[in-house]
Chains A and B, each alone.
Chain A
Amino acid sequence: MDRGLIIRGVRRCSFGRFALWMVPWALLLIVGCYAAFLCLYEGLHHTNMDNRFAFGLWIFLDLTVIALGAGAFFTGFLLYVMKRKELQAVINSAVVIGFICYSGAVAVLAVDVGQPLRAWFTFWHPNTHSMLTEVTFCISVYLTVLAIEYLPVILKNRKLRQVPSFLVFEFQLHKLMYVLAGVGTFLSFFHQGSLGGLYGVLHARPFVFREGFAIWPSTFFLFILSAAAVGPSFILLTTWLVSKVTRKELVKPAVFRSLAHVSGVLLIVYVLFKSIDTLIWINGTSPGLGFAAYDYYAWKPFGTWILFTEIIVLGLVPALLLLNEKRLPSRGWLILAAMLASSGVALNRFVLTIQTLALPTLPFDQFLSYWPSWQETATFLAVVAYGVLVYSFSFRYLTLFPQEKELSRI
C-alpha cells in the first residue's frame, strides 16, 4: 500500500504489520498528551513536584535525553570536522535521534514551566548571567539546526525526490552541512556545558556547587565531556536496538568499533576529570561552604555507593571495555559497555537533579523523597512514544542507514 514510498533496494515489513507496531505507541502518546493537558489546563499540582522538589522527573530525564542526544552533534563533528568517513553510516540515524531527543525535551519543558506562554520572555528580557538563558538560546537554535539537518534526510525520500525544486534545495543544503555541523557542534558544546553550569553555579547549594574557570564551573566542562563520551555509545546502542527489532544488519562491524573506541577514549578522560573534580569538591569546595561532604552521604538511600557506582561501575568499567573493543569476545560486551556508559550519564544527571533537592540544606530541614505522579510519567512516556513513532516512520521511509542496502544484498 505504501510501496511507492519505501526506498529501493531494502526490504520493509508489510504495512499492516507496521501499523500494528505503531498502535501501542500511538496510544501511549495519546495518554501522555492527556496527562500533559491536565498539567497545562489545571496546573502543575498534577505532578508530585513540590516547593522543595521544584525539579523532578522531567528535568532529570530532559538532561539525560539531551546528553544522550549529543550523539547527533558529536557524530556530525567526527564525520564532517574530524573526517571519520565510516560514520557516514550512522549520521542520518544520529540526526533523527538528536532531533527526537531535543524536540521531546523542549516539549516536556513546555509542560514543566508554570507559564509556558511566557517562554519568549527569555528572549525579550534575557538575564545574561543565567545559565538557563544560555541553555534556552542554544537549545532553540540547535533544535532549528537539527531540523535543517533532518530536512535533507526527508527530502531524499523516493516520492519527494520527484519534485525537482526539492532536489535542488536538498543539494544546496548538503553543501551547507559542514557549516551546520560546525555550528551545531559549537551550540551543542555550549548548551551541554550550560546545562552542567546550571547546577555548578548554585553557590548556595554546596552539594552541586563547583569552582571552575572564569565564569564556568567545572560541571560545565564535565557535562560537555560526558555528553560527548556517551553520545557515540548511545548511537551504537540505538543502532544495535534497531537492528535487533528489525532483524537486519544495518551497519558494518567497523562502525560499531569506531563508535566504541571514540566513546571509550572520551569516557576515560571524563572519569579522570570527574574524579579530580570530586576530590577537589570533597576536600575544598564543600567544606569551605560549611558542609562536610560525608554528611551528604549519610542520608539513606543515597550512600557513598552512588558515587562509587557513578564513577567506577558506570564510568571506569565501561570506559575500559570500550577501549578494548577489539579484544572483547562478542558484540554483547560492547553493547553492555555502551549501556553502562549511558546509564552512567543518566545517574550523573539524576544525582544532580534529584539527590540535590532531596538533601537538606538548613540544619532543621528534613531529607525528603519524591516519586513522580502518573501524569509526570505518562507525559514523559509520551515523548518516548513520540520518539519511537518518528524514528519508525523515518526508518521505514527514509534512508537512515546507507549501508543497509549493501548489507542486505550479501
Chain B
Amino acid sequence: MSLGRRDLLKFLGGAAAGAIFTPVPWKLIDDVSIWTQNWSWLPLVPRGEIQSKYTTCTLCSSGCPVRVRCAGAQPVSMWGAAGHRLCPIGLSAHHLPYHPGRLARPMEHTQGGKWQPITLEAAVERISTGLSGCLRQRGSIAIVDGRAGTTASLLYKRFVAQTNAAVYIADETTARNGIDLDRTSTLLSLGVPLQDSWGEPGHVMRLQADGKLTVIHAEARASATASLADTWLPLAPGAETAFVLALAHVILKDGIYDRGRIQKAENFRSFETLIAAFSPERVAAATGLAPDVIGDVARQLAQAGPSVVLAESRPGVDGADELATAVAALNLLIGSEGSEGGILARPEVPVHDSLKDASRVPATTLAAVPDHSVKVLWLDDAEIPWAVLERKLAPEHLVISVSAWPTGAAAHAGLFVPAPLFLESVRDAAAPADSAAAWFRITSPVLPAPPESREGVDLLSQVAEKIGLTPTDSLVDHLHRRAEAIRTAGHGQVVSYADGTATGIAAFSSAEDFWNALANGGAWTQAASAKAPPRLRLPGENSSLEKTMRTATPPPSNPGTAAELPLVVSAYTGPPAASPVLSKLYEESGLKEPPDTAFIHPQTAERAGLKPGARAMVEAGNVKRPVLLEISTLVMPGTLHVSAAPEFHPARPKHSIAGTTAANGRLVRARIWNV
C-alpha cells in the first residue's frame, strides 16, 4: 500500500476531528486559562511557618497590645491581644512599610521646592551646620515632639538642658493626666471624636453599651459620635467657651457643687463675677441651645457624677486656650479634678538616674514661643498645622522633619530624615488619654528598618557629637535602663499580651527577665489613685475668658452673599497615613469623608446659590484651596464644614485647608464659591 500526500492530509484531518472528542483540547483550554491568570498578574502568597509575635502598637498614644500573625518572618495580619481590639489603621499597619508614599531616604528641598535625595551623612552635616550657627542664641532652636511623655522625650529634654539655645515644645497634658474613664458616669465632649480616632478603639462605645457611661456630645454636625451619643447638643461653632461658662453659671447659681472646697479656691469671687454674665438665657442665641437644655446638661454633670468635660485640643489655634481654661474651670467645679472617675494625675514612670535631671526640663507650648524667633525647627512626628509653625520661624531658617511620611508639616521641611515605622523600631508608647494609669510599653521590631532611617533622638545625638556636645547613648539603651529603673522601683505589674494575665513586678528577678517580658509582649502598668489637687485655682475676671461673650456671636441665619460662612473643621486625631487597602475601602464605601471635601446644608447652598457636587474654592485667611462641595443635611445650616482626615494619599497636595485655617482662629469665616 502506498501512502500519498492526500492520505497524509486525510489522516491529519481525521486526527484533528477526532481530537475534539478527547479531553486533550479541553484540558489545554482550561490550563491556558489558568496559566494566563497566574502568570505575573496573580501574586503568590508568602510561605513559612505560621507564628504569633506580640508587640505594642505605637501608631498613636493608645498603645494597644498587638498579636502579629507571621508567615515565617513576614507579618501577614495584625490583631488586638489581651482582650483589646485594634483600630482600622492598626489592623493594617503591616501594610505601611510598603506604602508607596513612604519615604525611606533622607531628602532635601531644593530651591525649586522639589524633594531631592541626599545621603544621611550629608543630612547630618547640614543639620550640624544649622545648629552650630545658633547655639548661642537663646530660643533659636525649637524641638517639637509629637510623642510627649516617652523615653525619647527625655532624651530631647536632655539635649535642651545642654544647650540653652533650644526649647522643647510638646503637649504634656495627656502625659501628666489621664481620664479615669472606666469609672466615669457622665462625659461631656465638645467636638471630640469619641467614636472615631479617640482613645482605645471601641472604649467609649463598650462603656456606653454596658450602661456605665452617659455621653453628652456637643458639635455642629450630626457626626457618628453625635448620633451615638446619649444626648447630642447641636452647638453653634465658636460658642463652645460661652457654652462651658454657661454650664458653670448654672452650677454656681443652683449651688450644686462642693461649696466647702470650691469656695476656698483662688479667684473664686472673681470667677463668680465673670460667670454672672454667662446666663443660659444670654448665651442661648450664640450657642443655638435653649436655656433649659443648658440647665439640664449642667445639672446632669453636677449630679450624675463622676463627670468629665472634654474638649479637643488644637495647638496654636486662637481661642483654644480660652476654651481649655474654661473647661478646666468647669472640671474643677464639678469635682472631676483628682477624683475617681475624673481626671487623675498619672503616676510617674520611674526614670533612670542618668535622665532624672532631664525629666525636670519643662515643656513649652507653641503659643509661648515668640513669632519669627526660631532658626532651627526640629519636628519629630509632630502633627501641628504648618501655618501655626510657620509663624514662629525666623526669615532664615532650617526645618528638619524626622518622620516616615512627607505629609502635613513635614512636607514643608527643608530636610527630611526618615524614621523607622512601627514594626521596624524599638520604642515606648506614649500614655493613653482614656486611662489614668502609668504605662511602660515597648514595641519590638518585626521587620528590618530601612538602612538610612533613624530615630529622631538617635539622629540628634549624632548631630550633638558633631557640634561638640555630649552625645547620648542610643534610645534602645535608654529603654533598657528605664525598664531596669522600673523594676528596681518595685511598683506595678506586667500584663502579658499572650494571655492577659498580670504578674506583680516582684516576680521578675533580673533586668533581662523584665525586659523580655516587655519586649515579647507585655505592658508594665501602675494604677492611678484619686488625690485631690493641693491648690485649686479658677480663672478670674481679668483672664482671657472675659472677652468670650463679645466674640461669641450667633451664626448668621441668612448667609447673604456668595457664602461667607463660619468654617468648621472636623477633628481628626490619628496616624498620618493608612494602608492603601484601607484608603481604598474608605473611598469605596464612602464611610469616611474624603479630605478636601466641603459640606454645606442644602438650604444654605440654595440660599447662597452654590452648586453642590461641583468643584468650589474655599478661601479662609490667606489660604485658598479647591474642594469638592457636597450638600449634607447633617451639618448646621449657615456653616461650612470641611473634612479633615489622615493623608490617605501622601501624593496628594500637602497642606489641606483643615490644617491651615485652624491657625487663623477656631472659628474663621471662609468664602466659598463654585469654580
Indicate yes or no for A touching B, C-beta below 8 A. yes
A→B interface (CB under 8 Å): 115, 117-118, 120, 124
- Which 3 A-B residue pairs are closest in the complex by CB-CB distance? A117-B33, A118-B33, A117-B29
Bound form: Cα–Cα A117–B28 in Å = 10
Chain B residues within an 8 Å CB radius of A115: 33, 37
Q: A124: which B residues are within 8 A, CB to CB?
A: 26
Residues of B contacting A: mostly: helix
Distance in angstroms from B144 CB to nearest chain A CB is 44
Q: Contact check, B32 vs A117: say whether CB atoms are below 8 A apart.
A: yes
Question: A118 CA to B32 CA in the complex, in Å?
Answer: 10
Q: List 13 A-B contacts (CB under 8 A).
A: A115-B33, A115-B37, A117-B29, A117-B30, A117-B32, A117-B33, A117-B36, A118-B29, A118-B30, A118-B33, A120-B26, A120-B29, A124-B26
Residue of A nearest to B37 (CB): A115
B67 to chain A, nearest CB (A): 33
- B23 nearest CB neighbor, chain A only: A124
Flag B19-49 by CB within 8 Å of A: 1 or 0 each: 0000000100110110011000000000000
6 extra interface residue pairs, beta carbon distance < 8 Å, beyond A117-B29, A117-B32, A118-B30: A115-B33, A115-B37, A117-B36, A118-B29, A118-B33, A124-B26
Nearest CB of chain A from residue B589's CB, rounded to whole Å: 12
Query: B interface, how many residues as a size bin?
Result: under 10
**Interface positions of B (Cβ within 8 A of A):** 26, 29-30, 32-33, 36-37
A366 to chain B, nearest CB (A): 10
| Cβ of A179 to closest chain B Cβ, rounded Å | 23
CB-nearest residue of chain A to B29: A117
Which partner residue on chain B sits nearest A115 by CB separation?
A: B33
A43 (CB) vs chain B CBs: closest residue: B41
Cα separation A120 to B30 with both chains bound (whole Å):
9
A118, closest chain B residue (CB): B33
Complex interface: chain A residues within 8 A of B33 (CB): 115, 117-118
Q: Who on chain A is nearest to B31 by CB?
A: A117
- Interchain CA distance A124-B29 in the complex, whole Å: 13
Residues in B with CB closer than 8 Å to A117 are: 29-30, 32-33, 36
B residues near A120, Cβ cutoff 8 Å: 26, 29
- Min CB distance A40 to B, Å, is 10
Q: Which residues of A contact B32 (CB under 8 A)?
A: 117
Of all chain B residues, the one with the shortest Cβ separation from A117 is B33
* Max count, chain B CB within 10 A of own CB: residue among A115, A117, A120, A124: A117
- Can you name the residue of chain B whose Cβ is closest to the Cβ of A41? B36
**Given the complex of chains A and B, what is the CA–CA distance between A320 and B178 in angstroms?**
84
Closest-by-CB residue of B relative to A51 is B588
Chain A contacts of B37 at CB under 8 A? Answer: 115
Query: In the assembly, what is the distance between CA of A325 and CA of B32, in Å?
Result: 56
Cα–Cα distance between A124 and B25 once the two chains are bound (Å): 13
Q: Bound state CA distance, A118 and B37, in angstroms?
A: 12
CA distance A117 to B26 in the complex (A): 10
Separation of A115 and B32 alpha carbons in the complex (Å):
11
Report A-chain residues with C-beta under 8 Å of the C-beta of B26. 120, 124
Q: Measured between alpha carbons, how far is A258 from B33 in the docked complex, in Å? A: 50
Measured CB to CB, the closest approach of chain A to B42, in angstroms, equals 13
> Nearest Cβ in chain A — how far from B205, in angstroms?
21
Distance of A118 Cα from B30 Cα, bound (Å) = 7
Among residues of A, the one whose C-beta sits closest to the C-beta of B26 is: A120
Determine how close the nearest CB of chain B comes to the CB of A140; give it in whole angstroms. Answer: 14
Closest Cβ–Cβ distance, residue A53 to chain B (whole Å) = 16
The smallest C-beta distance from B38 to any residue of chain A, in angstroms, reads 13
Complex contacts, B36 vs chain A, CB 8 Å: 117
How far, in whole Å, are A117 and B32 apart by their CA atoms in the complex? 8
Distance in angstroms between the alpha carbons of A115 and B34 in the assembled complex: 10
Q: How far is the CA of A115 from the CA of B33 in the complex (A)?
A: 8
- Min CB–CB distance B633 → chain A (angstroms): 15
Nearest neighbor of B36 in chain A, beta-carbon distance: A117
The chain B residue sitting closest to A124, CB to CB, is B26
Cβ of A118: which chain B residues have Cβ within 8 Å of it?
Answer: 29-30, 33
Minimum C-beta distance from B437 to chain A (A): 41
- Complex Cα spacing A124 to B33, Å: 15
Query: CB-nearest residue of chain B relative to A120?
Result: B26
B550 to chain A, nearest CB (A): 45
Distance A120 CA – B33 CA, assembled complex (angstroms) = 12
CA distance A124 to B36 in the complex (A): 21
**Least CB distance, B631 to chain A, in whole angstroms:** 15
- CA separation between A117 and B30, bound complex, in Å? 7
A257 CB to nearest chain B CB (Å): 47
Docked complex Cα distance between A115 and B29 (Å): 11
Q: Looking across the interface, which residue of chain A has its beta carbon closest to that of B41?
A: A43
Question: How many Å lie between the Cα of A103 and that of B32 in the bound state?
Answer: 24
Q: Which of B26, B33, B36, B37 has the most CB of A within 10 A?
A: B33
Residue of A nearest to B32 (CB): A117
In the complex, what distance in Å separates the CA atom of A247 from the CA atom of B26? 49
- A325 CB to closest chain B CB (Å) equals 48
Complex alpha-carbon distance, A124 and B30, angstroms? 11
Q: How far is the CA of A118 from the CA of B26 in the complex (A)?
A: 9
Min CB distance B375 to A, Å, is: 52
Instruction: State the Cβ distance, B23 to closest chain A Cβ, in Å.
Output: 10
- Docked Cα-Cα span, A120 to B29, in Å, equals 9
How far does the alpha carbon of A117 sit from the alpha carbon of B33 in the complex, in Å?
A: 6
- Smallest beta-carbon distance B146→chain A, Å: 39
Tell me the complex Cα distance, A118–B36, Å.
Answer: 12
Tell me the bound Cα distance from A120 to B26 in angstroms. Answer: 8
CA distance in complex: A117, B37 (Å): 11
Cα distance A120–B23 in the bound complex, in angstroms? 12
Q: Complex Cα distance A117/B34, Å? A: 9
Separation of A30 and B26 alpha carbons in the complex (Å): 29
Q: Separation in Å of the B20 CB from the closest CB of chain A?
A: 11
A120 to B32, CA, bound (A): 13
The CA of A116 and the CA of B29, in the complex, are separated in Å by 10
Shortest CB-to-CB span from B613 to chain A, Å, is 14
CB distance from A159 to the nearest CB of B (A): 23
CA–CA, A117 and B25, complex, Å = 12
Alpha-carbon separation in the docked complex, A117 to B36 (Å) = 10
Nearest residue, chain B, Cβ from A121: B30
**Shortest beta-carbon distance from A165 to chain B in Å:** 15
Instruction: Give A401 Cβ to nearest chain B Cβ, in Å.
Output: 36
- In the bound complex, CA of A124 to CA of B37 (Å): 21
Closest beta carbon of chain B to A353's beta carbon, Å: 25
Measured between alpha carbons, how far is A120 from B31 in the docked complex, in Å? 13
Nearest chain B CB to A402 CB, angstrom units: 35
Complex Cα spacing A70 to B32, Å? 35
